[in-house]
Chains A and B, each alone.
Chain A
Amino acid sequence: KQEVTQIPAALSVPEGENLVLNCSFTDSAIYNLQWFRQDPGKGLTSLLLIQSSQREQTSGRLNASLDKSSGRSTLYIAASQPGDSATYLCAVRASGGSYIPTFGRGTSLIVHP
């Protein structure tokens, strides 16, 4: 059974810092990995999707990498802003059989001015 772990659980940084959020998964036979943002009491907004054949994806100040063999993905946020404050969720979709994503608990990020 796939287990997804996100470290750290919470992070508080001053504005302008570059930061890295980590996601690890136990079963490397994945189809893709998706990073989401969730604002308090709100839904999930897709940030980046990495297919199993890809090593990284970039969107603006966000860069997500994937190392399947080691079961890890990182989300890099450059020049963080207070508006980046949210919970960031990692979801891993298995290959073969079930295509249902397994979510991590998320990293709660606060960027203070």
Chain B
Amino acid sequence: EPEVTQTPSHQVTQMGQEVILRCVPISNHLYFYWYRQILGQKVEFLVSFYNNEISEKSEIFDDQFSVERPDGSNFTLKIRSTKLEDSAMYFCACRGIRNTEAFFGQGTRLTVV
């Protein structure tokens, strides 16, 4: 069964450092998403991406965040200057054009110290 792959599974970084979280979506899917889940809280939407541009973003997705598809397969989330409150599980998701079901990766646990 096709799956969404995220790397790394766990990242520890110092406050103020830049991090890049990577995702390899399912190959024929065209809609991509990033979500985060702070420990013990709800899964929250960050951003959606289609046709090489952001289609929607939440108020969480401020100027510290950016997304791109650098090589047509990977989908990345960059946090420029991490804060303690960025510590969370970050999930990548994707879906196809006709398939309305969203498929999620296993997540990257980001710990900012």
B11-19, B63-71, B80-88, B101-109: which lies at the A interface?
A: B101-109
What 0/1 readout, one digit per residue, does chain A (87-111) give for beta carbons within 8 Å of chain B? Answer: 0010101000011111111100000
What are the 6 tightest A-B residue pairs by CB atom distance, in nearest-first order?
A: A43-B106, A44-B104, A103-B43, A43-B107, A49-B101, A100-B45
Residues of A within 8 A of B48 (CB): 99-100
Q: How many residues of A contact B (CB 8 A)?
A: 24
Give the interface SS of chain A, mostly helix, strand, loop or mixed: strand
Residues of B within 8 A of A105 (CB): 41-42
Q: Does A43 contact B104, Cβ atoms closer than 8 Å?
A: yes
**Chain B CB within 10 Å, residue with most, of A36, A44, A91, A99:** A44
What 0/1 readout, one digit per residue, does chain B (50-69) give for beta carbons within 8 Å of chain A? Answer: 00000010100000000000
Q: Count A-B pairs with CB separation below 8 Å.
A: 48
Given contacts A101-B45, A103-B43, contact A44 B91 (CB under 8 A): yes
> Could you list 15 A-B pairs, sorted by A, with CB under 8 Å?
A31-B100, A32-B100, A36-B104, A41-B109, A43-B104, A43-B106, A45-B104, A46-B104, A49-B100, A49-B101, A51-B100, A100-B33, A100-B45, A100-B58, A105-B42
